Structures are given as structure tokens and as C-alpha cells.
Amino acid sequence: MPIKPMVRNNICLNAHPAGCAASVRKQIEYTKAHLSKTDNAPKLVLVVGCSNGYGLASRIGAAFGYKAVTVGLSFENEPSEKRSGTAGYYNNEEFDKQAVKDGLVSITLNGDAFSNEMKAKTVEAVKQAAVKAGIPAKIDLFVYSLASPVRTDPKDGVMYKSVIKPIGTAQSGRSLNFMDGIFSDFNIEPATPEEISNTVKVMGGEDWELWMDALDKEGLLDTQTRAVAYTYIGPELSWAIYKNGTIGKAKEDLERACRAINKKFTETKKIFGAWVSVNKALVTRASAVIPIIPLYISSLFKVMKDMKLHEGCIEQIERLYRDRLYTADGKVPTDSENRIRIDDWEMRDDVQKAVVEKMNKVTTENVYVETDIAGVKHDFLEVHGFDVEGVDYDAD
């Protein structure tokens, strides 16, 4: 039967296979037109969290831009008789199909990246992919792009849950439902100390460090290896919920892990370097559920589109690769904290000033004119394979 989007509270419960496939092909076409192989381009790339958002764009950029061999790991649901699969399942399927078409080696794994078992399976897949492509089993680029609500620690088998909450004091504000343009008030109580440490456990840097150790143990790291994990900082108006909240604490820990990885592997000349890249706020499965974000992103998109500065995941990754990680002179531009900044356009003073002005005057009556809520709704649906141009949504 035809599949229609089932959306509750900015969460989409199903996905459309043909729409996901078309959306992946669109990103591949963009990459082919904008990114091409250079002398220092990565040849063997591992992406953990490869099926959606920034991880998917990172894998597409590496494979279809740089012609790299890619191994991808994500955690997605297959379709069943009663339910559609998750969007990432269909994205991976299309990625592999297009890779075969272009003669690219790709191996995709499905399972829990936090587990020892999947780390071992991934290591074997990297070796296999290298043999298949006839290249040394040395990872040139390792992208860590997980966004997960839970993590089972392989050491003790305990499952930790992350929360999106402020720290210290309760926070309230206006939330926007981008499906219907209706505002509601939110009030979130502060996180308990346990919730803070659990969120750090899930979304912090411990697992990234475990991955680096696992790859090192198997001799897959090399003096050319670049490792990157993604974070968000955003404007001050979101800090109470994001940067100074539980997720921000986890992201601080990601930066701690990055320093530890550089101390262990870069300073000893085992790898080229590790970075946390600060990316732009975009509509993905993970970001849509953060209270302040839909209103902020709707205003931001309007401003950035008007200024011709707007980017999606694939455009962000193109800039990350070409202008940061794989520059002509081999240098990686960073801020004073050694972070890569591809949120630089989002954070420009003129952009932020215009966004704040918009956010202060937007109401239910003018939300479709003052903001790009329509664009945000479209992007959200597209992430799940809906509202994609050229797809027949009445087909069975």
C-alpha cells in the first residue's frame, strides 16, 4: 500500500524506501559535481553512524567525491510485514547499490557500534574491503558520527540513557511544531546528577576512544589517518538547553576525548590528527527533538537562504573535506581550541543578529513569512524519504 508519513511530536515513525533512495541519489549527484579526487584524498574511509545526516553525507562525499573505499556502520531496522524499515536502512541500501554501479568498494554493517562485537566485525570488514580493493588496510579517514539515545557499556553491560535537559535551573520557552506552525510553551526541569553522567556516558567521547584503540590494536591506523567527530555549539540563545545542558556536557567530554586521542596517537606520530568539527544546525532525526531548535532553525534557514549562505549536510561535508581536512597545503584550519569550524557561516554576526530579530517577532500568524518553516518541514520529511521530488507517493 502507499506509505504516508506518520509524525508525532516532531518524530517521524516511518520511512519511504523510494524517497530515501532518491534523496541519497540527489546527494551523490551533488557530490560528483562538487568534489573530485585530489592527491591527498583519503582512499580507505570508515564511517560510524553512516546511514543518516552528517555520517551519510560524510560517506557519500568520501565515496562519490574522492572515490574512496568505504566501510559504514549504523544501527537501523529492516522492514517487516507490518512496518517500514527506518530511513537509514533504505539509505544504506541505495548507497551500496550506487557504489556497485560506480565500481566502488563498500561494505555496510548493521549493529550496535558501542558493542565489542560490532567493533570486531567492523575491523574485519575494513581488512576485507582493503583486500577487495587491492590497497593497504590503513584507514585514511575515520568519521565518528553517532547520535544515539542509549548506550550499553560493553564493560559492565549496563544500559545508559541520555536526556536533553538544562543543568542547574529549569528552562522554559517557546517551541515550534514545524509540521503545523503551532507554538507551545515548554518547561524542562533540570537534569539530576545521574542524568548528566548518563548522557556523558552515551554521547561523550569514551566510545570514540575505544574505537581508536580497537583500530590501533589491529594495525589499521597510519601516519595519514585523520579522525573526526562532530559537535554543535550554536548561539547563546540555545545554550541553556544545549551547550550548558546535558548534551553540552557530553560534547565537552567529546573534546576531552579528542585531546586524549591526539596525545596518545598524534603526538606519538601514529596518526595525522584527530579533530572535533563544529557543524551547522540542520534538520536530522537527532536534531528535530531538541525544544528550541525547530524555531531557531526555521529562522536561521530563512536568514541564510536570503543571504545565499544556506547549506545542508552534503554541502557542509564538501567544505569540511575540501577546505579543512584535505586542503592543498595539507594544513587543517582550526579555532584556538583546535576545533574545525564549519559552523562559521551560521555563527557570523550579521546572520545571528538577523536570526534573533526574527525569533523575537515571529508569531503563529507570520511564521510562514518570517521564517523558513516550510523548508524545515520539507527537510524533515525528506530525511524520512517523504516530499522528495520525482517520487510517486501514491504508488504501492
Residues noted as catalytic: 242
Q: Which three cell numbers stand for residue 36?
A: 573530485
Nearer to ligand NAD, 40 or 148 (CB): 148
Nearer to ligand NAD, 131 or 150 (CB): 150
Residues binding ligand NAD (CB under 6 A)? 49-55, 73-76, 88, 112-114, 145-148, 230-232, 279, 281-282, 284-287
Least distance (Å) between residue 87 CB and ligand NAD: 9
DSSP 2-30: -----EETTEE----HHHHHHHHHHHHHH
Which residue, 151, 257, 159, 155, is CA-closest to 208? 257
Question: Quick one: how many helices (H) and strands (E) in the chain?
Answer: 12, 13
Q: What share of the chain is helix, strand, coil (3-state, %, to 5)?
A: 45, 15, 45
Least distance (Å) between residue 320 CB and ligand NAD: 11
Q: Which three cell numbers stand for residue 82?
A: 507490518
For residues 243 and 281, give the distance between their C-alpha atoms in angstroms, rounded to a whole number: 13
Which residue number has the CB closest to ligand NAD? 53
Least distance (Å) between residue 263 CB and ligand NAD: 22
Least distance (Å) between residue 62 CB and ligand NAD: 15
For residues 166 and 161, give the distance between their C-alpha atoms in angstroms, rounded to a whole number: 16
CB 125 within 8 A of CB 45: no
Nearer to ligand NAD, 84 or 145 (CB): 145
Nearer to ligand NAD, 51 or 298 (CB): 51
| Cα Rg of the chain (Å, integer) | 20
Nearer to ligand NAD, 114 or 326 (CB): 114
Least distance (Å) between residue 21 CB and ligand NAD: 16
Ramachandran class of 254: left when φ > 0, alpha when ψ lies in -120 to 50, beta otherwise: alpha
For residues 116 and 75, give the distance between their C-alpha atoms in angstroms, rounded to a whole number: 14
Residue 287: count of CB within 10 angstroms of its CB? 18
